[in-house]
A and B are shown apart, each in its own frame.
Chain A
Amino acid sequence: MADSYRVEPDLKFVRQLVALGGETLKKCYQCATCSVVCPISPDERPFPRKEMIAAQWGLKDKLVGNMDVWLCHYCNDCSTYCPRGARPGDVLNAVRAYSIMEYSWPRWLGRIVVDSRFWWLLLAIPVAIYLVLLGATGHLHIPEGHIHFDKFFPTLYVDLIFVPLHMLWVPLVFGIGISRLMKDMQKNAVADGRAKRTGLNVPDFLRYIVCTLPVILGQFKFRQCTTNKDRDIAHLLVMYSFIGLFTVTGLFFVALYILQAPGPYSQVNPVKILANVSAIALFVGILLMIRNRRKEKGNMSKGGYFDWSLIILILGLVVTGGLTELTRLADWRYVCYPMYFVHLVLVFSISTYIPYCKLAHLVYRAVAMAYSRYSGREPCE
């Protein structure tokens, strides 16, 4: 602390935060009400007051790579009680959006994903790939007879696209992002004394992930929020239905390639039941999220593109998935096959763009929460 920190405000960074939904950031006058009312901030060097002045002064290196930005769960107690309407919750949300963009690889893709002008491009990519693939293999028509997706879009093609995407692309992009984030977080936290432990021991760090998992799965932090408590159930439903659907996908992959048992499966198959229940839960969860965002909540924003793009994507995913299944059961092939096509476009989008969109928080927040425990900022419950 003896050394002076040379301040070099980055006006461009300030403008970007404003564009990402932090337009109130300049209103803060540093009263620290936010840090006092925050139910989840650690007592030592609490957030979000210090993040607010760093945002005002355009101090990018104090915000991007600051674990506290990720410890924030967007309760918005701070925004509710802020006497100036500076909405610290939204400012930190904007910083997270910026961080996701900053840690993405390739970075240009990150920029495109957060930019509302390019939503059509993101959807056009899978559409183009599918059209070329189906056209080249002579599948670009509605097949005759009972609905069997394999006839329209062979499962092998689907898996040829998605398996590398999930197994290689997403882990690679996240891996690069996590390693950058870890380096920055450590530097940042050590510099101002928030990290009680300065080195980085990877196996030890992994152990802290284990102790963080219950907090995440139980949404323990989220539940400490007060003013925005009603988000709890919606988020829980969405989170667990994604886990459910991911499990179902994995099990059916095993069934197809290892047990050699291709679908469609019976509706009373336990795995199928899990799939249907998860889909319904996701539908309910996402509707609750939409309702919640549309409510008037005083000092809180109603979300920007970064937020709504994901919500609409998930809504589209669950609606097209459900309609595909229902029209299949009804044997409406002229509706069912196109619906399946749209569904696959959306599945491609969410899978490919995970590291660049708001959903990336599931990885970055988990890493930051684990690092917080590892570094001694928060205890391991």
Chain B
Amino acid sequence: MEKKIAVYICKGCGIEEALDIERLEKEAVPKKVEIRRDHPILCSPEGIDLIRKDIENEGVNTVIIAGCSRRVHYDVFKFPSVVVERVNLREGVVWSHKPQEQEAPAEGEAQQEASAEGGAAQEAQTEGEGTHVDELIQEMAEDYLRMGIAEAEKIELPEPSKDIIDKKIIVLGGGVTGLSAALDVAKAGYEATVIEKAPQVGGFAAKMRKQTPWSYPYESLQSPVVEQIIKEAEAHPKVTIRTGTEVARIAGAPGMFDITFKAPGTRSAWDIPAPLEAAEGAEAPAQPPGADKATPENPANILAKNPDAERFGAVILATGWKPYEPKKEAEQPKKEGGEEPKEEEPNYEHLGYGKFPDVITNVALEKIAAAGTIVRPSDGKPVSSVAFIQCPGQGSDEDFPYASTVTSMVALKQAKYVREDNPDGMAYIFYQHMRTLGQNEYFYKSAQQDEGIFLTKADIVGVSENGGDTLTVEAKDTLLGENIKVSVDMVVLGTGMVPTTKDDPVLNLAYRQGPGFKDLDLFDGYSDSNFICFPYESRRTGIYPAGCVRRSMSIAECRDDAAGAALKAIQCLESAYQGLAVHPRSGDMSFPDFFFQRCTQCKRCTEECAFGALDDDEKGTPLPNPTRCRRCGICMGACPERIIGFSDYNIDSIGSMVKAIVVPEEEGKPRVLVLACENDAYPALDICGLNRLNYSPFIRVIPVRCLGSVNVVWIKDALSKGIDGALLIGCKYGDDYQCHFIKGSELANIRMEKIGEALLSLALEKERVQQVQIAIDEYDKLPGIISDFMATIEEVGPNPFKGF
């Protein structure tokens, strides 16, 4: 499409006072751009009208608006089928840079004007109608306008990818979370299918005697709500329930997942073969056979399509938890010379689990309690006193693995069972942490109020036999101020809930990057995302974990969590249907385009995509799945051949901006390219402007979708044209990453380390390229970070390539 560009400069919000608008137009706008206008308040109805008229009458299809940041008024400067480019003169230039030479002191306007007239020859910077214009700020504005025009010339309006989308939602797991999610989905008008491994739905909640309170006054135990949920789900016309079923494979992408089911525990020709992603550096194993030759022993490769698979649009993962089973004492003697040792399991020999039949876990007690009066496993006699051990003790205040608020609440609940069954019964709870947050505190108080429930913080020394048929629990550092012993009929260990995703991929995705979520060891196996603002997001678009697979939750929490995941799944379907990104660039229509003729099959893009959006085709060429894509551009940053780009964000568009920066040869005017992540760093820079925090006028900021999308060629271009340095500002990476695209800033950091080596070979100093991490609320640190970098550049000296 022929571009018809028009430039509009807004003079409001202090822009006119700080800049020479006439000169800005003259210097920065190329001659070929005929329509160039300014307006006192461009965002006013009159200003918008001005632009609209040009679009209608002059055939303008590319609008460049120089004024406020692109992060504001995006809804005002919105014109259908027109490329809109924003040039940030307000936050980025005028508000964040105070003119260096102060205007004349308060002696009066007259004197100032007189001196302006009289001394015009001396004061080169003082021009125009007596307004003081700082040359450095003016240069900055001119560069930004040039960069904006350069970018606008290189970008096109994105067109959505059109896929045929199925709007059914599949829910894996038929416990409280799964059924609730299915009901939420169904009530919103979508079809939901629940699959459950067990012969009946309900999960563990259906095997309980009572549940902890979920409604006011949050004080007494309530009958499990699960039966009601099961009834409702079974009766709902839009909910299909399949028991005795599990997933063999989930192939495809959001909106078009092709799912093959199988009976639990059986093997299928559609099981996922051993993950293709082998240890780092190793050759990927040969592809197993395709669909035609597949057998359960030798299942089909991940690209093979099962014609009998069922199609779903989005997946809710609600497979929940399994009980943590402490190592039994009988298992203690380790097999010498056996298989390689597994990860070290905690040792609870002192608690007598496995040695004394009446030392059991809370899950075992729940089963006994659900069956009737609580009796001892050893002799079937009803109990009169029970000790609940919440923390294994022996000097450590660590709870049992995977213990949580739920574990604390369960101890209180089961203590109440003891009291229900026997009016003179006694329940001791020994804890290091009593986690009863929020309304759970009411339950804690009500349990505490019971005369037969005894609570103390304690360090457990051990459990031993008491001569007779009781057990002795010994504890130290108690609230009673001394070491104590109690005789009890039974000991219950407060063990935790292990997420099903800990040892099992569960999802069985036919993805090149493997069958499950990645890097869950960061979260002890929980399907957590570490997306601090988006709890339901996973690293696989269209798959939303909910309930105890995310963290230990009570039944009430699971129901709420299910609603969240249901809404995310629906959002995914509707976004995919319109060809839009789901998250976090919700509504983004662009998607990466590959120029495959030049692909060398290096697989960096397929490896580095944090979301597994790319598979390999039969020949080993990347196979994009647009609906899996988050549009971050990490693949674009990774590609050494530079064949990946978006219609409105690509190597050329940003490269052209870099090239549009004017690099003066004179001393004392260094230039630094700042590539700022638009999720945190760029907004933080805007906030600096908003707060009138000043930073160096020698930087030129280009917002990027993610630091992971930064291609090193931009840096090379910048340095080879004489720009003195490049500063990348992105989000925190590492275990507590804050990167919206998980790996972006981390990958950028690796790439920049490598570019440092390349720079050395060009006799350029490594220090010229630096990456810093910042969170949006640390905006006040930015001026310091920038001035530190400027000091480094000053120390290193001007780029010798200047003027080449």
The answer on a CB contact under 8 Å between B485 and A4 is: yes
A4-55 contacts to B, CB under 8 A, are 4-9, 11, 14-15, 18, 26-27, 29-30, 45, 50, 53-54
The reply on B773 being an interface residue by CB < 8 A is no
The stretch among B370-378, B444-452, B536-544 that forms the contact with chain A is: B444-452
Complex Cα spacing A304 to B619, Å: 90
Q: Taking A53-B456, A53-B480, A54-B480 as contacts, is the C-beta distance between A5 and B485 under 8 angstroms?
A: yes
The answer on a CB contact under 8 Å between A26 and B487 is: no
Q: Taking A6-B486, A11-B426, A53-B456 as contacts, is the C-beta distance between A27 and B445 under 8 angstroms?
A: yes
**Smallest CB–CB gap between B673 and chain A, Å?**
57
B470-488 contacts to A, CB under 8 A, are 474, 476, 479-487
**Smallest CB–CB gap between A342 and chain B, Å?**
42
Tell me which of A2, A8, A9, A58 has the highest count of chain B C-beta atoms within 10 A of its own C-beta: A9
The reply on B424 being an interface residue by CB < 8 A is yes
Residue in A6, A7, A26 whose CB lies within 8 Å of B450:
A26
The reply on A296 being an interface residue by CB < 8 A is no
B486-506 contacts to A, CB under 8 A, are 486-487
The answer on a CB contact under 8 Å between B474 and A4 is: yes
The answer on a CB contact under 8 Å between B448 and A11 is: no
Complex Cα spacing A11 to B426, Å: 9
The answer on a CB contact under 8 Å between B484 and A7 is: yes
**Smallest CB–CB gap between B644 and chain A, Å?**
60
Contact string, B436-467, partner A, CB cutoff 8 A, digits 1/0? 00000000010011111010110001000000
The answer on a CB contact under 8 Å between A14 and B451 is: yes
Name the A residues within 8 Å of B454 (CB-CB). Answer: 9, 56-57
The answer on a CB contact under 8 Å between A11 and B485 is: no
The answer on a CB contact under 8 Å between A1 and B483 is: yes
The answer on a CB contact under 8 Å between B451 and A15 is: yes
The answer on a CB contact under 8 Å between A6 and B487 is: yes
Complex Cα spacing A53 to B428, Å: 13
Name the B residues within 8 Å of A192 (CB-CB). Answer: 481-482
The answer on a CB contact under 8 Å between B474 and A11 is: no
**Smallest CB–CB gap between B190 and chain A, Å?**
47
Complex Cα spacing A244 to B83, Å: 103
The reply on A381 being an interface residue by CB < 8 A is no
The answer on a CB contact under 8 Å between B451 and A5 is: no
The answer on a CB contact under 8 Å between B451 and A4 is: no
Name the B residues within 8 Å of A8 (CB-CB). Answer: 487
The answer on a CB contact under 8 Å between B485 and A6 is: yes
**Smallest CB–CB gap between A308 and chain B, Å?**
25
Name the A residues within 8 Å of B456 (CB-CB). Answer: 53, 57
- Chain A contact-residue range equals 20 to 34
Name the A residues within 8 Å of B487 (CB-CB). Answer: 6, 8
Name the B residues within 8 Å of A57 (CB-CB). Answer: 454, 456, 480
Complex Cα spacing A18 to B452, Å: 13
Residue in B445, B461, B485 whose CB lies within 8 Å of A7:
B485
**Smallest CB–CB gap between B182 and chain A, Å?**
41
The reply on A3 being an interface residue by CB < 8 A is yes
The answer on a CB contact under 8 Å between B482 and A29 is: no
The answer on a CB contact under 8 Å between B479 and A30 is: yes
The answer on a CB contact under 8 Å between A7 and B451 is: no
Name the A residues within 8 Å of B450 (CB-CB). Answer: 26
Q: Taking A26-B448, A26-B450 as contacts, is the C-beta distance between A4 and B483 under 8 angstroms?
A: yes
Complex Cα spacing A4 to B483, Å: 5
Name the B residues within 8 Å of A45 (CB-CB). Answer: 481
**Smallest CB–CB gap between A11 and chain B, Å?**
6
The answer on a CB contact under 8 Å between A11 and B479 is: no
**Smallest CB–CB gap between B386 and chain A, Å?**
13
CB closest residue in chain B, given A1:
B482
Name the B residues within 8 Å of A2 (CB-CB). Answer: 483
Complex Cα spacing A53 to B454, Å: 9
**Smallest CB–CB gap between A26 and chain B, Å?**
5
Complex Cα spacing A8 to B452, Å: 12
Complex Cα spacing A56 to B451, Å: 7
Complex Cα spacing A5 to B424, Å: 22
B413-446 contacts to A, CB under 8 A, are 424, 426, 445
Name the A residues within 8 Å of B424 (CB-CB). Answer: 11
Complex Cα spacing A58 to B452, Å: 9
Tell me which of B474, B480, B484, B487 has the highest count of chain A C-beta atoms within 10 A of its own C-beta: B480
CB closest residue in chain A, given B486:
A7
Complex Cα spacing A57 to B478, Å: 12
Complex Cα spacing A3 to B483, Å: 7
Complex Cα spacing A15 to B457, Å: 24
Name the B residues within 8 Å of A11 (CB-CB). Answer: 424, 426, 451-452
**Smallest CB–CB gap between A267 and chain B, Å?**
58
Q: Taking A15-B451, A26-B449, A27-B445 as contacts, is the C-beta distance between A5 and B426 under 8 angstroms?
A: no
Residue in B452, B461, B483 whose CB lies within 8 Å of A5:
B483
Name the B residues within 8 Å of A18 (CB-CB). Answer: 451
Name the A residues within 8 Å of B485 (CB-CB). Answer: 4-7
**Smallest CB–CB gap between B263 and chain A, Å?**
51
CB closest residue in chain A, given B423:
A11
The answer on a CB contact under 8 Å between A27 and B448 is: yes
The answer on a CB contact under 8 Å between B483 and A7 is: no
Complex Cα spacing A36 to B479, Å: 16
**Smallest CB–CB gap between B45 and chain A, Å?**
58
CB closest residue in chain B, given A58:
B451
Complex Cα spacing A27 to B441, Å: 12
Complex Cα spacing A7 to B472, Å: 11
The answer on a CB contact under 8 Å between B479 and A53 is: yes
Name the B residues within 8 Å of A7 (CB-CB). Answer: 480, 484-486
Name the B residues within 8 Å of A27 (CB-CB). Answer: 445, 448-449
Complex Cα spacing A348 to B484, Å: 48
Contact string, A164-199, partner B, CB cutoff 8 A, digits 1/0? 000000000000000000000000000010000000
Name the A residues within 8 Å of B452 (CB-CB). Answer: 9, 11
**Smallest CB–CB gap between A97 and chain B, Å?**
18
CB closest residue in chain B, given A29:
B448
The answer on a CB contact under 8 Å between B484 and A4 is: yes
CB closest residue in chain B, given A57:
B454
**Smallest CB–CB gap between B185 and chain A, Å?**
42
**Smallest CB–CB gap between B686 and chain A, Å?**
45
Complex Cα spacing A197 to B426, Å: 37
Complex Cα spacing A54 to B487, Å: 17
Name the A residues within 8 Å of B486 (CB-CB). Answer: 6-7
The answer on a CB contact under 8 Å between B479 and A5 is: no
Name the B residues within 8 Å of A14 (CB-CB). Answer: 451
Name the B residues within 8 Å of A53 (CB-CB). Answer: 456, 479-480
Complex Cα spacing A27 to B444, Å: 10
The answer on a CB contact under 8 Å between A50 and B449 is: no
**Smallest CB–CB gap between B435 and chain A, Å?**
14
Tell me which of A2, A3, A6, A18 has the highest count of chain B C-beta atoms within 10 A of its own C-beta: A6
Complex Cα spacing A272 to B450, Å: 57
Complex Cα spacing A214 to B481, Å: 33
Name the B residues within 8 Å of A26 (CB-CB). Answer: 448-451
Complex Cα spacing A58 to B450, Å: 12
A55-72 contacts to B, CB under 8 A, are 56-59
**Smallest CB–CB gap between A51 and chain B, Å?**
11
Q: Can you list 15 pairs linking A and B with CB atoms under 8 Å apart? A: A4-B482, A5-B484, A6-B487, A7-B486, A9-B426, A11-B451, A11-B452, A27-B449, A29-B448, A50-B480, A50-B481, A53-B456, A57-B454, A57-B456, A59-B480
Kindly list the 6 A-B residue pairs having the minimum CB-CB distance in the complex, ordered from nearest.
A4-B483, A4-B485, A6-B485, A26-B449, A7-B484, A14-B451
Besides A5-B482, A59-B480, 15 other CB < 8 A contacts?
A: A4-B474, A4-B476, A4-B483, A4-B484, A5-B483, A6-B487, A7-B485, A9-B426, A11-B424, A11-B426, A26-B448, A29-B448, A30-B457, A56-B454, A192-B482
